[in-house]
Structure 1
């Protein structure tokens, strides 16, 4: 739904001069994403306090407190400091998981397009199973049995959505393989890896990049949901989902604990959706 709304906003704003200027919502989305990236990269230097530091004298301090601009939580921890660190962790998880998913799916899609036959059927069968299996249930089962260290959590999140890339890469690789340039490269003795990596991949990279921008907000929401349930990022580390989970118990007394990370989640996912839909409109020749 977020993607549909974002697409309508972008198309509506860019209808008079599509291709000539970037719509205002996309500029706003890019500016927000740049801000989030800057906060993530400079979190160690710009946080007012350590995100685990207690200030028991100022428990549940309201926003705009002289010492705590966004207030404090139930233990006196600075909400702004925890929010900045949470942004870094959530972006790290989402970016790492999206990259793993894209690499895995693209590799399997190329494998299916090259091998065909039984291997292709096996890859498609795995993709159908992944699409049919609710990923949240799978994640809950894996994290409950294997624990939830951060590297394992990122690797598990990387399994989300790989079947989309596999289907896209397989279909586009088969289409490109049937065209003249791929056949010509094979005729001069190029290896399969060179054909796929040097000639086919650059021609389908734009489609894969757009798919990554549309998957990225889904991973952020999934990470937030798992952390909200207590199976994602674990204390003392913090994430946006963790902050929302802790803040729900103080929603009536100290709503700022939950509202600040919730606003970041909503705004970031909307910004990525706006940028992703604009990239799709710009890079897809059928929509020009």
Structure 2
């Protein structure tokens, strides 16, 4: 009689240990939340305009009472530019991730539904996308068409869509084989309703994890393009733009480059840690 309560207590303790949030995940969530708050409130918390000059405080060291993170060679406040850069970079990464997920999932559902020539065409496009160096493609497009925030966001939206297409296609085929999709279809539901209302909710967790893995890659890709001078253009600024601009002053004013570089590193690391944790939590085979 005493074994059952003991087993119950042991199971409860194991569940509590499993439900405890890891320290690194908690730190990652806190950092991501801070970045989102900064992006949403940038206009209110930014102490100066991003183009405001203070020639009397050119290349001021960090810790200055007027400029906490110092200034650049034109006297522009690094903290203000960093806050604006966080907003622009997160806006591009978030918009591009949504475009990529929508495009890939839609094509994956089309391949799953029609099969045959449509499926082969989608898979062929996915193979072509995976084999093509996306950075080179981006450089060619931006050099030919010019660059704007909208074009850059849409271009980044083509990054990684083949992953979503393959995942959505495979999971949709698996879900259709389970029978509930066929049952709903026999009741007269349209294919669009079946995929959106019944299949998509069942595969959403896997797609969300994929988004957390693509998001930091897009941040790094945008930073690379801005570093090369083909990303966000002045007077706007982004994290990659600040890093590319600050490389010329790495030996004389390293804080211009180090501040955005650290933000890029911690943000991508935090999202990757969160994505790995979500993958473990949502994977039934691990539990």
**Common topology (TM > 0.5):** yes
Aligned to 1:209: 208
Matches of 2:171 and 2:181, distance apart in 1: 12
Paired residue secondary structure (2:20):
coil
Matches of 1:76 and 1:135, distance apart in 2: 36
Aligned to 2:50: 51
Question: TM-score, normalising length from structure 2?
Answer: 0.94
Paired residue secondary structure (1:19):
helix
Aligned to 1:109: 108
Question: Residues 139-167 of structure 1: CA distance to partner in whole angstroms, max 9, x if unpaired?
Answer: 00000011111001000000000000000
Question: Residues 73-102 of structure 1: CA distance to partner in whole angstroms, max 9, x if unpaired?
Answer: 111100000000000000000000000000
Question: TM-score, normalising length from structure 1?
Answer: 0.94
Aligned to 2:250: 251
> Which residues of structure 1 form unaligned runs of 5+?
1-14
Q: Is contact 1:100–1:155 with CA below 8 Å preserved after alignment?
A: yes
Matches of 2:110 and 2:35, distance apart in 1: 36
Aligned to 1:38: 37
Change (3 A) 1:18 1:277: farther
Higher relative contact order (CA 8 A, sep 6+): 1
Question: Residues 220-271 of structure 1: CA distance to partner in whole angstroms, max 9, x if unpaired?
Answer: 0000000000000000000000100010110011000000000000000000
Matches of 1:165 and 1:267, distance apart in 2: 25
Matched, 1:152 2:167: no
Matches of 2:146 and 2:188, distance apart in 1: 48
Runs (4+) of structure 1 exceeding 4 A deviation are 15-18
> Which residues of structure 2 form unaligned runs of 5+?
1-13
Taking only aligned residues, the RMSD between alpha carbons, in angstroms, comes to 1.1
Deviation at 1:19, TM superposition (A): 2.7
Aligned to 2:76: 77
Deviation at 1:287, TM superposition (A): 1.8
Larger radius of gyration: 2
Aligned counterparts, 1:78-227, within 5 A: 78-227=77-226
Q: Is contact 1:19–1:282 with CA below 8 Å preserved after alignment?
A: no
Paired residue secondary structure (1:285):
coil
Deviation at 1:18, TM superposition (A): 5.7
